[in-house]
Amino acid sequence: MAVDRIARVNELLRREIGDSLFLVLNADEVDLSSLSITQVDVSRDLRSARVMVSILGHENERPRMLAALRRRRGAIQSRINKDLVLRYTPRLTFELDSSVERGDRMLAVLTTMEAESGEPGPPEPAPGEQDDGQQDSN
């Protein structure tokens, strides 16, 4: 039962942190469209939480963007404390999550391999069939 509660708190914190980013950070510091909270891992005692942040693009600006998040940690924690009812407001630690970027790279490699091998893509619909697989009623 405790594991289920921790999972719910993780998801709740992930959504709340994502919502508070738009209120706490300004667009001059960080490109908010490239920033997303992918995962939150809260400790069993709810006193600390590791926040995994994905930043798409902006390879040269990632350290600066993470530093801006770390500087605004207190304001984000204050928003969590105001909006959520928890025994403790966890101390947030922001870390870069490159799993989304690795997944995109892997999909690009697979697409390239498929194109080079000359394997056909999905089958074309037969004459008289619609794109969703349904026969014409004519």
Q: How many domains does the chain divide into?
A: 1
Would you state the torsion angle of the CA atoms of residues 84, 86, 92, 98, taken in this order, to the nearest 10 degrees?
-70
Q: Per residue in 29-44, pLDDT tens?
A: 778 888 889 999 999 8
Q: What is the CATH number of the domain that holds 12?
A: 3.30.300.20
Separation of alpha carbons 51 and 41, rounded Å: 7
Report the range out of 66-75, 109-118, 122-131 with the highest average pLDDT: 66-75
Residue 105 lies in a domain: no
Residue 45 phi, psi (nearest 5): -90, 5
- pLDDT exceeds cutoff 70 at 123: no
- pLDDT exceeds cutoff 50 at 1: no
Mean pLDDT of the chain: 81
Separation of alpha carbons 11 and 26, rounded Å: 24
The residue ranking higher by pLDDT, 31 or 75, is: 75
Specify the pLDDT at position 49.
Answer: 93
The parent domain of residue 85 ranges over 2-99
What average pLDDT does the segment 100-118 reach?
80
Residue 80 lies in a domain: yes
Residue 84 lies in a domain: yes
Residue 126 lies in a domain: no
Residue 56 lies in a domain: yes
The radius of gyration computed from the CA coordinates of the chain, to the nearest angstrom, equals: 22
Whole-model pTM: value is: 0.69
- pLDDT exceeds cutoff 80 at 7: yes
Tokens of 51: 């926040």
Separation of alpha carbons 128 and 126, rounded Å: 6
Residue 44 lies in a domain: yes
Residue 106 lies in a domain: no
Residue 111 lies in a domain: no
